[in-house]
Amino acid sequence: MSLLNKICLLLLFSALCVTNSFGLTKLHEVKIEPEFAVVKGMEAEIKLSTFDSLGNAIPINCFSSVYVNDEKIDIYFNDGLAVFDYTFEEPSLINIKCAEVVANKEINPIPLWLSILPPLIAILVALLFKEVFSALFLGLFSGTLIIYLHSGVSVFSAFFKSIFSIVDKYVIEALSEPTHISIIVFSMLIGGTVHIITKNGGMQGVISVLSKYAKTARSGQLVTWVLGLLVFFDDYANTLVVGNTMRPVTDKLRVSREKLAYIVDSTAAPVASIAFVTTWIGAELSYIQSTLVDLQINESAYNIFFASLKYSFYPILALVFVFLLIWSRRDFGPMYHSEKRARSKGVNVANLEKKIEHDLKEFESERKIKPRVFNALIPIAVIVFGTIGGLFYTGWDVIIWNDDSLSLLTKMSGIIGNSDSYKSLIWASLSGLLVAIVLSLVQKLLRLKEVAEGMIAGFKTMLTAILILTLAWSLAGLIGDLHTADFITLSISSTNMSPQFLPFVSFLVSGLIAFSTGSSWGTMAIMYPLILPAAWSLSGNAGLPYDESIGIFAHVVSTVIAGSVFGDHCSPISDTTILSSLASSCNHIQHVKTQLPYAITVAIVALVIGTLPIAYGVSAFVLYPAMIIVAWLIIRFVGKKTEPEINIGN
């Protein structure tokens, strides 16, 4: 020990060991506090703090030394706190002597391979039990149990501490994050707005106007498709409102309930997943932003989202495929037989599933209200244009806007990139909700009590999404503590997988998880914290330049969403699939059976002609027309005409 250190410790010891008559207490304890999870081979932060016999912090300032096994590390106490980083490769003993107090702490680092168990358990439980809440909770529990078992406590103690730490650490930390709270508030406000504009007749007004154009089976299906695109802000509202409202029209036109359910289902999640003002966007931005911060990538989450849209082959092709089927008046597989039967014999309602009246009545008013289209269009316009205005307001930069060397699109991208998307979304959704409330009250369409109840009911519709998000954020926090992404990255790197091939793999894995859990949101919760860091690391290890690495990163963002939507479409336990069946009064198994060939066809075309070629440099301007042509050829030569059509005239 140096002379300076000895003098410092001597002065510290003298000051702390004086009698209580001077109002001072002796140094009683030096606490050694490692990170919550110390993982083998990963740098961990160790904190040391000084306390007196009463448990009060002693703000000493002094140089000292700490030993990890036999390795000496110089530290400095600043106001009674010292911090150092260390990478543990084996069980170790931390030892420090401060004044006359000796402190020891055994560290048993968690093997890195164990870090994969929590997400793996979450996936396996989801596969076996087809329930995402239990899967996420058990994933969290397994992770916290691993941590406590390596902290030196008994198995009995570790069991209960693991359960409690899920809530008192990870859930609380997740809900303490301002961006997370912003997403929750935004989602609730959107839910409240959707509910009010439905109860005040606004949504019915929009649908009634478009329904006037439904004169034949084809035009009726086209109107349903257009409505599916227009009700873009929430997949739940999309399926419930469009399916329930268009069913009487399509029944008259002898369009099968299976086809109605398919159109409703295949325009709900696809459009909600790629539109930038939806109940999905908050979650998507959250996952992207968290990864960008963790990887220290200086990019806006909104910019990454916009960049990912050109890779959204499955959602976009799913929307186009529905249109091509309708326009060609052709179908194939089980859907053809359903449509042929409906055209010739009419819609058989006797064998259809009954609707869940509780869900449907939530979107109905207590009294007869005249539908007015502007009661829906104005609040929706406020939300859409309010978000755009908020992005420009919070990200406005005069230097960027006045830079004549930049194109208009580059200027807009730069401004949006600097914006506060969460504030913009909250301002816009709150404004839309207030406008919907004012319109309802001023026209005396709803009483104040009905408005309040409708708004709260709208909030309740988002509860499931909020619970999934909270557990997802918690699992992401645990995965971060256990360095699971590092394990995934090392594992994938050791296989020498090409980074260009990763989007293809992420689509397939996401599709499998979504199919097994029935939850797109749950799939994104599991996949994003794992696959995005791996994509960035693989690109770096392959020596790709920054622009190409960001491109692959954005591509993976897109394929996780696309795979989630695809699995959701194929899954019989998916919430939107079930709701599409119920809102359309279609037998659920029939809906799944008739939709499955279409979803698989779109996925194969999107992967083979879109995802793989664009990863290796083929332009999206070439691939999208190619996909549409191939899809059209499949419909033309595999599909059969569903004639005759019924025209109900005026």
Query: Residue 647: pLDDT above 90?
Result: no
Res. 353 pLDDT band, cuts 50 70 90: very low
Whether residue 591 has pLDDT greater than 90: no
pLDDT digits (tens, 9 = 90+) for 488-530: 766 765 666 778 888 898 898 888 777 766 667 777 877 888 7
Do 106 and 122 contact (CB within 8 A), yes or no?
A: no
Residues 158 and 198 in one domain: no
Residue 15, pLDDT > 90, answer no
Confidence of residue 350 (pLDDT cuts 50, 70, 90): very low
pLDDT band at 646 (very low <50, low <70, confident <90, very high): low
Alpha-carbon distances, residue 538 vs 300, 495, 552 (angstroms):
21, 11, 10
pLDDT at 212 over 80: no
pLDDT digits (tens, 9 = 90+) for 425-439: 789 889 989 999 999
Regarding predicted confidence, which is higher, 587 or 618?
618
Q: Percent of the chain scored above 90 by pLDDT?
A: 11
pLDDT in tens, 146-176: 999 988 888 888 899 999 999 999 999 988 8
Is the distance from CB of 641 to CB of 332 less than 8 angstroms?
A: no
Instruction: Lay out the sheet containing 43-52: strands in order across.
Output: 27-34, 43-52, 81-87
572, two tokens: 């019989």
Task: Give me the mean pLDDT over the 554-578 stretch.
Answer: 83
Q: What is the mean pLDDT of the chain?
A: 79
**Listed range (258-267, 292-301, 542-551, 573-582) with the worst mean pLDDT:** 573-582
Q: Would residue 70 count as lying in a domain?
A: yes
648 belongs to a structural domain: no
* pLDDT above 80: residue 134: yes
Q: Is the same domain home to 193 and 163?
A: no
pLDDT at 237 (0 to 100)? 60
Q: Kindly report the CA angle at 335 between 329 and 339, in degrees rounded to 5? A: 55
CATH of the domain at 74: 2.60.40.10
Q: Which residue has the tokens 């806006």?
A: 300
Residue 621 backbone dihedrals phi, psi, to 5 degrees: -65, -25
Residue 211 lies in a domain: yes
Does the pLDDT of residue 570 top 60, yes or no?
A: yes
Does residue 646 lie in a domain region? Answer: no
Q: Examine the pLDDT at 12 and tell me if it is beyond 60.
A: no
Q: How many domains, the chain?
A: 3
pLDDT band at 575 (very low <50, low <70, confident <90, very high): low
- What pLDDT band is residue 19 in, cutting at 50, 70 and 90? very low
List the one residue out of 318, 361, 322, 371 whose CA is nearest residue 200.
371
Q: Tokens standing for 19?
A: 């009698």
- pLDDT score, position 585: 76
Q: Quick check: is 30 in a domain?
A: yes
Pairing of strands 71-77, 81-87: unpaired
Residue 389 pLDDT greater than 80, yes or no: yes
Structural domain of residue 270, as residue ranges?
Answer: 180-641
Residues 507 and 534 in one domain: yes
| pLDDT greater than 80 at residue 88 | yes
The last residue of a domain, from among 176, 210, 229 = 176
Name the band, by pLDDT with cuts 50, 70 and 90, for residue 276.
Answer: low
> Is the bond preceding 499 in cis, omega lying within 30 degrees of 0?
no
What is the rounded CA–CA span in Å between residue 260 and residue 272? Answer: 18
User: Taking 90 as the threshold, does the pLDDT of residue 631 lie above it?
Assistant: yes
Report pLDDT for 359.
Answer: 45
Q: Which H or E run contains 32?
A: strand 27-34
Band of residue 241 on the pLDDT scale cut at 50, 70, 90: low
Q: How confident is the model at residue 413 (pLDDT cuts 50, 70, 90)?
A: low
Q: Which residues on neighbouring strands pair with residue 29, listed in sequence order?
A: 51
Q: DSSP letter at 151?
A: T
332 burial type by CB count under 10 A (0-12 exposed, 13-18 middle, 19+ buried): middle
256, 281: one domain: yes
Higher pLDDT, 231 or 298: 298
Establish if 481 belongs to a structural domain. Answer: yes
428 with 492, same domain: the answer is yes
269/563 Cα distance (integer angstroms): 12
Residue 603: pLDDT band (50, 70, 90) is: very high
Q: Which residue has the tokens 């109860």?
A: 199
Locus of tokens 């009250």: 441
Q: What is the mean pLDDT of residues 39-62?
A: 83
Q: Kindly state whether residue 647 falls inside one of the protein's structural domains.
A: no
- Residue 135, CA distances (Å) to 141, 333, 469, 482, 505 in order: 10, 34, 13, 18, 22
Residue with tokens 């909020």, as numbered in its chain: 466
Residue 511 belongs to what H/E stretch? Answer: helix 502-517
**What's the mean pLDDT in 587-612?**
88
> In angstroms, what CA-CA distances link 420 with 70, 284, 390, 399, 510?
50, 15, 8, 18, 29
| 110: Cα separation from own chain's centroid | 29
At 142 the pLDDT is 92
Answer yes or no: do 219 and 364 share one domain: yes
Statement to judge: residues 163 and 200 lie in one domain: no
CB neighbours of 604 closer than 8 A, spacing ≥ 6? none
CA distance 597 to 587: 17
Nearest CA-CA partner of 40 in 117, 150, 121, 158? 150
- Looking at residues 83-100, what average pLDDT do you find? 83
| Residue 106 clears pLDDT 90, i.e. is over it | no
Q: Which of 57-61, 140-144, 303-307, 394-398 is most confident?
A: 140-144
Judge whether 584 lies within some domain.
yes
Residue 213 CB contacts under 8 Å (≥ 6 apart), including other chains:
219, 222, 223
Model confidence at 285, pLDDT cuts 50, 70, 90, reads confident
**Residue 648: is its pLDDT beyond 80?**
no
The pLDDT, as a whole number, for residue 43 is 84
Band of pLDDT at residue 224, cut at 50, 70 and 90: confident
Residues 457 and 562 in one domain: yes
pLDDT interval class at 139 (50, 70, 90) = confident
Q: pLDDT band at 598, cuts 50/70/90?
A: very high
| Highest mean pLDDT: which range of 190-199, 380-389, 501-510 | 501-510
**Whether residue 27 sits in one domain with residue 156:** no
What is the C-alpha separation between 356 and 448, in angstroms, rounded?
Answer: 27
Lowest-pLDDT range of 189-203, 272-286, 523-537: 272-286
Cβ–Cβ < 8 Å for 37, 110:
yes
Picking from 213, 217, 210, 227, the residue whose alpha carbon sits closest to that of residue 266 is 227
3-state secondary structure of 335: helix
Confidence at residue 7, expressed as pLDDT on a 0 to 100 scale:
46
Mean pLDDT highest for which of 22-36, 214-228, 403-417, 442-456? 442-456
Q: Using an 8 Å Cβ cutoff, are 578 and 329 in contact? A: no
Please tell me the predicted confidence (pLDDT) of residue 264. 87
Query: Hey, what are 555's tokens?
Result: 């591509």
Contact 575, 347 (CB under 8 A): no
Closest CA to 461 of 266, 129, 233, 244: 233
User: Are residue 184 and residue 170 in the same domain, yes or no?
Assistant: no
Q: Which residue, 176, 193, 219, sits at the end of a domain?
A: 176
Same domain, 465 and 326: yes
Q: What is the pLDDT confidence band of residue 381, given thresholds at 50, 70 and 90?
A: confident
Same domain, 172 and 186: no
Return the pLDDT at 632.
93
